[in-house]
Chain A
Amino acid sequence: MDVKIAYPEVRQRKEFARCLASVLKWTFLFAGFICIALNLVTGGKAWSVIVAWSLWLLWTQVVSPDLVEYNFISQLIKLVVNGCILLVFIDMLITPGWAVEVVPIIFFSALLTVGVLFFADFERQRQNMFPMLLLNGVCLIGSIIGLIVWHEETRWVFAVVGVFALSLLVGCFAKLRLDFIKECRKLFSTK
């Protein structure tokens, strides 16, 4: 059976990239498994949770990025959320007492950055509104929970984050008006 070649030759570099992704996947899984096993054998603080989450963060952010909705805003939000979960783990498992102040500050900074990026390039970024709405939602819910649960001096940070998240939502609505409802219909469609 003679085959007449009717397709172009493919560069080997792409083949290498495919192999590398496969090797990295197994390396990450192996590293995570070894850490958990070591931690279980040696006992003590659950440091392997922090290592596993760090590996996950690295995996999802660098090695295996999102296949849909991969833009600067969504990646920044993903990094902030995953990073803050990591900080909470460190606070809970290693050195307690600081995350309650640090995490809201990081979320506030993230809201500020995302807000600037979103409104500075509004026409292009309106298609990427969903991650920002989610961040707003997380911040609002987080600040309400924070205000209810914590009764110490640090309460004000939750109030600031909540108010800022709400004002960003109002800003979106003011800019989009009826289109805001349309965007929400897209984002929350169950069909």
Chain B
Amino acid sequence: MKKKKPTEFELYLVGLNDGQAEMIAAFFTEFDRHCALDERSKALMRRDFENALLYYSNEGLPLDTALDRLDISNLGSFYIRPPILWYTLDDAAKIYPLSMKHGRMAVFRLAVNLKEPVIPELLQTALNFTIKRFPSFATTVKKGFFWHYLDTAKRRFEALAETDIPCRPIDISTSASQSFRVLWYNNRISVEFFHILTDGTGGMAFLKALTAEYLRLTGIRSDEEGVLNRNELPSAEETANEFARADSTDQTGGFVDVAATQMSGRLSSAHPCQVLHFRMDAAQLKNAAKERNSTVTVYVLSKMFLAGRYATDEPNGTMNIQVPVNMRKFYPSKTLRNFSLYCGIRRSISEIEDSTAMLEDIAGQLKSKASKEAMSRMMNSTQRLLHALRYVPLALKTPAARVVYGFLGDQIFSNTLSNLGVVDMPSEYAEHIENMDFVLGTAVSNRAACSMVTFLDTATLTIAKQTLDPSFEEALYKSLCNNGINIQVEGSPLYGR
């Protein structure tokens, strides 16, 4: 019979002395005490630890230090207890599983670009340790009779090499499938979330915790202030549906609006067909906005209107840019679920010009449309709609939602600007991070979706495109450069046609 070739880890074990071998044996005994996953998942997770130990060994790290970093107690009781928790979808999340279809899903990406290449072995271990802190993320989407819901999935969540288009749909169809993905490519750690799980704020909390844990495993020490501690118990508030907190009012705000003018380029076959990151000096961007007596968001919106004007052949009509609004600023909350709504900033095409008047108009619209009152009206509308639909079986809701979404879709908007604002990390970790990215998945007919995040001195404006027509990004680039902002452009190759 052919003898089985020893694995790299088995060869590593042979080279250890008795004391070290005992330490390893004790380590894996402890692992067995903390993991009751199915055989395959358990074997994979065991291999994750073996790979991490091999990495440390190759780096010349003493075994006791390696075992200290990989301390099994970091797994907590997540992998040993049976899955009992489940979560109803929050009010904003309910539409996502209803409106998704093959090739279309509301996915967004948050990424951190490190100064050193990512070590996959440590990233996987970091994910194994971090996920327990985010119980509503360790779930799988299930169908109920009236609504979808999130059911806890006890499994090994995977960190994979990035090989595909950013923000492509996540396969959530099989039993215990995960609704987010962790990817690595060169120096970048990315997390892509199905919007059913969380919004940008909750997603960023996860990315920060994962990155912090990854950097800790590489040997960097920090007090981890401002990052959710992986070993802390999650609070009930973190998984709460906070939409019920809307100020009670009889007034409601509609979702329906008149159609907006779209950019003229032909829709691409891939979604998105390209992702572009404009990396700008945050101080320069802030100064450019300040010189015009506006905020960064208003300034960038005005530039997007101008660029949008160049990207359409329509001489008339209005452009409408969707701006997500974080409800946590009106209703302070620690929730990691969705807690954001949106408003639309409109401007007639004929009135789009590089002027102070346009900046003032955008600022005025933003102030009134993204106010607490306006958002509370929208929250009330959402609640009433969901209340009216609560006894309609899912089998009827799904096709109806698809038809309605197919007709309305994103037609009322021309573009989106989601600004996550300034993200911070403990200084010890921030030293090892170059910048961050925030990528929105593309909608149905909008040719672009823009998103922004600022980390340290770099503001990154990302454009997820759905047309090969380069007019929008070229006009935006020129317009920002003309205001004295230096931009470095990074991005993806073109996908599709």
Residues of B near A14 (CB, < 8 A) are: 164-165
Q: Count of A residues near B, CB < 8 Å? A: 36
- Provided the pairs A69-B143, A127-B176, A187-B144 are in contact, do residues A64 and B102 lie with their beta carbons within 8 angstroms? yes
B496/A5 in contact, CB under 8 A: no
In the complex, the chain B residue whose C-beta lies closest to that of A130 is B143
For residue A1, CB closer than 8 A to chain B, the reply is yes
In the complex, the chain B residue whose C-beta lies closest to that of A191 is B88
In the complex, the chain B residue whose C-beta lies closest to that of A21 is B102
For residue A152, CB closer than 8 A to chain B, the reply is no
For residue B97, CB closer than 8 A to chain A, the reply is yes
- Provided the pairs A8-B185, A127-B142, A186-B144 are in contact, do residues A67 and B269 lie with their beta carbons within 8 angstroms? no
Give Cα distance in the complex from A16 to B220, angstroms.
44
In the complex, the chain A residue whose C-beta lies closest to that of B187 is A6
- Provided the pairs A14-B164, A70-B174 are in contact, do residues A188 and B490 lie with their beta carbons within 8 angstroms? no
Main secondary structure of the interface of A (DSSP, over half): loop
For residue B75, CB closer than 8 A to chain A, the reply is no
For residue B248, CB closer than 8 A to chain A, the reply is no
Query: Chain A 41-74, CB within 8 Å of chain B: the 1/0 string?
Result: 0000000000000000000000011111111000
Interface residue ranges of B363-392 to A (CB < 8 Å): 390-391
A68/B148 in contact, CB under 8 A: yes
Instruction: Give the contacting residue for A186; candidates B140, B151, B186; CB below 8 A.
Output: B151
B173/A10 in contact, CB under 8 A: no
Residues of B near A10 (CB, < 8 A) are: 163-165, 493, 495
Residues of A near B188 (CB, < 8 A) are: 6
Query: Chain B 137-149, CB within 8 Å of chain A: the 1/0 string?
Result: 0001111111111
Stretch from B55-63, B270-278, B330-338, B410-418 at the A interface: B270-278
For residue A124, CB closer than 8 A to chain B, the reply is yes
Give Cα distance in the complex from A21 to B174, angstroms.
20
Q: What range describes how many residues of B lie at the interface?
A: 35 or more
Instruction: Give the contacting residue for A67; candidates B102, B164, B488, B489; CB below 8 A.
Output: B102
Residues of B near A67 (CB, < 8 A) are: 97, 100-102, 172-173
For residue B355, CB closer than 8 A to chain A, the reply is no
Residues of B near A124 (CB, < 8 A) are: 38, 175
Interface centre among B100, B474, B488, B496 (most CB of A within 10 A): B496
For residue A39, CB closer than 8 A to chain B, the reply is no
A5/B147 in contact, CB under 8 A: no
Query: Chain B 455-497, CB within 8 Å of chain A: the 1/0 string?
Result: 0000000000000000001100100000000001111110110
Q: How far is the CB of A109 from chain B (nearest CB, A)?
A: 23
Residues of A near B164 (CB, < 8 A) are: 10, 14
A1/B477 in contact, CB under 8 A: yes
A18/B269 in contact, CB under 8 A: yes
- Provided the pairs A3-B491, A6-B188, A14-B164 are in contact, do residues A71 and B174 lie with their beta carbons within 8 angstroms? yes
Give 30 pairs: A residue, B residue, CB < 8 Å, sorted on A.
Answer: A3-B490, A4-B488, A4-B491, A5-B490, A6-B186, A6-B490, A6-B491, A7-B166, A7-B275, A8-B162, A10-B165, A10-B493, A15-B270, A15-B496, A18-B103, A19-B269, A21-B103, A67-B97, A67-B172, A68-B142, A68-B148, A69-B142, A70-B173, A127-B142, A130-B144, A130-B145, A182-B84, A186-B86, A186-B142, A187-B145
Since A10-B493, A188-B144 are in contact, a sample of 8 more A-B pairs with Cβ atoms closer than 8 Å, ordered by chain A residue number, is A1-B477, A4-B491, A6-B490, A7-B185, A8-B162, A68-B97, A188-B145, A189-B88
The 5 nearest A-B residue pairs measured at CB: A70-B173, A7-B492, A190-B390, A6-B490, A191-B88
